[in-house]
Amino acid sequence: MIQPSRRDGKTARRVGKGNGSLSLFDLTGKTAIITGGNGGIGLGMAMGMAEAGASVALVGRNAEKTRAAAESVTSQTGAKALAVVADLSKPEDVERAVAEAGEHFGRIDALFNNAGINIRKPPQDLSLDEWNQVMNANITSAFLASKAVYPWMKKQGGGKIVNTGSMTSILGSPFATAYAASKGAIVQLTKSLALSWAADNIQVNAILPGWFDTEMTIAARQQVPGLHERVVARIAYGRWAKPEDMAGAAVFLASKASDYITGVALPVDGGYLAAL
């Protein structure tokens, strides 16, 4: 069933309960928090969730950018979108952001731990402070946010947590040591939380994005000579991914369709990891 939901007159696909197995992907009435949701991969996830029927809370540090992203979600999909301004490297901000989203919508069905930073330096030039900055933003914030949503999900009888990893969850990087270490840790956090909270019907999985065309990777291409050419040569589809390429995986892992899948790290990489 396709229902009109866009203010611009276009239609967004909403899967109704009368469509058999397709109803497993319907997120109508659900609420999702997306950290780092004001741009790039996070906004691609948010758009996918909204088009599947969910209300979304976008969490970001930049107030203007986060509010603009929330307005964009609503204008393009008709879904409810809340802008939450927070610095997730600060534990008190994590608690506040989760509480704000939960109290606004009355429930939390899915959490996407997508916020992250990178400091590109050879390991010998990386200071302890820089190391800690990356770890706090990328892995500690994911742990704290997951811990904060746990009471909401347990009370509701279940939920979904999706952590954003990276190709560097599997592959090393000579110019992103702290980032790679944090993304490797994301996969182990995912597996451990999946085992810990299975009895509470909370599925915890990870998405491992390949090379997406975002602000972060634009900076990488400027800082790492030849990166663009090497990436395109290895990707089976011969192009960098777009944020909207993440929407399907996000909806799948947030929906009933993935109820028996937990502790998994799913690459969304256009075949990058399959190539020698």
Q: What is the DSSP string of 214-238?
A: SHHHHHHHHHSTTHHHHHHHHSTTS
Let me know if 150 is a catalytic residue. no
Under a CB-based contact definition with an 8 Å cutoff, are residues 3 and 26 in contact? no
Kindly state the helix (H) or strand (E) to which residue 111 belongs, with its residue range: strand 110-113
Cα 100 to Cα 27, 94, 156, distances in angstroms: 21, 10, 17
Q: Which of 150, 179, 237, 260 is catalytic?
A: 179
CA distance 56 to 46: 7
Closest CA to 177 of 188, 193, 166: 166
Strand 265-268 with 202-209, pairing: parallel
Say which residues have a Cβ less than 8 Å from residue 14's Cβ, sequence separation at least 6. 1, 2, 3, 5, 26, 28, 51, 52, 53
- Tokens (6 digits) for 234: 């290895």
SS percent in the chain: helix, strand, coil, step 5: 50, 15, 30
Q: Which residues are catalytic?
A: 179
